[in-house]
Amino acid sequence: MARSDVHPVHRFEAWQVWPGSFDNPRVDGTFPAPAHLGLKITRSTPIASMGSCFAREIKRRLLQRNYAYIAEETHHPAAVHASAAWERVYNTFCMRQIFEYTFERWEPDCRWWQAPASGKIQDPYRRTIIYETLEAAKEDFARHRIHSRRALQRAEVLILTLGLTEIWQDQIDGAVISLPSGPYVNEGGDMGRYAFRVSRYGENLDNLERIHQIMTQHNPGCRLLVTVSPVNLWATFRPDTDVISASCNSKSTLRAVADEFTARHANVFYFPAYEMATIYQPLMGKTHFADGRENFHVNKPTIKFIMRHFFAFYATDE
């Protein structure tokens, strides 16, 4: 038990106090956590994941340890990051659209982009997925919906990694594109219908609630494990602030959203990957930033630290 020096005297568990404060234990390489976290998995538990770049690291390590990770569309390059060819999903709006097009009729006003010079067909809602013809695009997406539904309905645990709050939104129907990138943008395609903005707490929480509603209808036994990606923004489209402040705003907003979302539902859990990287690693005198050109990413020792705790927290087989 830990103690405080204030009146009245309070008794705390070790994980309830700041490491090294007063006479309390310092960091020892084990992230402090309650003994009972409520979520348990085994190597036979079907697990799916979706989200930002960090979701790819979770997938890789689950597969390395021979967990029952759900891998659909393994032939598709866009499936390397997740359980189906969702590509990297950076915001909760695109995440919500995946669940809507998988289980419902989601038909945005502008479904495909055609690059002005090359004529290539691009999916605006999945990061830089390109086709030679519109027919090929439609056929592949029809197959993708089947795989997506299969992955989400098989999952007993679904890991959602939240990335950022900056979005590009269609001003006509409200659909959110993945990123202003790829041949359509590079070849001068008209982006006039899309407006950049920073999404806020309430609408991000609404997106997660909508996802929960859809999963409750189509896979009610699935448990959701939410985490905030510790990968910072490489750049911000905001003209009013710097990239470091914009990144902090994204992560802080999504962390607050995750806390409320978890508190509302008995089958939703939060995994503190973001806190492990950005707070606990510095407390140990270590950096969590990668070296080189992509130094906004998380380095390998930090990923290993996070995933070691993931298995320690939830995996009964470890």
The residues, any chain, with a CB within 8 Å of residue 247's CB and separated by 6 or more, are 164, 232, 233, 236, 296
How confident is the model over 144-194, as pLDDT tens digits? 999 999 999 999 999 999 999 999 999 999 999 999 999 999 999 999 999
Q: Quickly state the pLDDT bin for 8 (edges 50, 70, 90).
A: low
**3 in a domain, yes or no?**
no
**145 in a domain, yes or no?**
yes
Across 116-138, average pLDDT:
96
**18 in a domain, yes or no?**
no
Per-residue pLDDT, 169: 98
Q: Quickly state the pLDDT bin for 6 (edges 50, 70, 90).
A: low
**26 in a domain, yes or no?**
no
Across 111-132, average pLDDT:
96
CB 83 within 8 A of CB 155: yes
- Structure tokens belonging to residue 43: 């190597």
Per-residue pLDDT, 29: 95
* Neighbour order of strands in the sheet with 113-114: 113-114, 121-123, 129-131
Half-sphere exposure of 148 (CA within 13 A, CB side): 22
Q: Quickly state the pLDDT bin for 243 (edges 50, 70, 90).
A: very high
pLDDT at 7 over 60: no
Per-residue pLDDT, 57: 86
Across the chain, mean pLDDT equals 94
Domain count, the chain: 1
Residue 23 has a CB neighbour count (10 Å cut-off) of 8
**29 in a domain, yes or no?**
no
pLDDT at 10 over 90: no
**106 in a domain, yes or no?**
yes
Phi, then psi, of 262 in degrees rounded to 5 = -65, -40
**25 in a domain, yes or no?**
no
Q: DSSP 3-state assignment of 156?
A: coil
Per-residue pLDDT, 56: 84
pTM above 0.85, yes or no: yes
How confident is the model over 74-115, as pLDDT tens digits? 999 999 999 999 999 999 999 999 999 999 999 999 999 999
Domain region containing 125: 40-313
**261 in a domain, yes or no?**
yes
The residues, any chain, with a CB within 8 Å of residue 78's CB and separated by 6 or more, are 85, 86, 87, 126, 127, 129
Across 301-316, average pLDDT:
94
CATH number at residue 115: 3.40.50
How confident is the model over 188-239, as pLDDT tens digits? 999 999 999 999 999 999 999 999 999 999 999 999 999 999 999 999 999 9
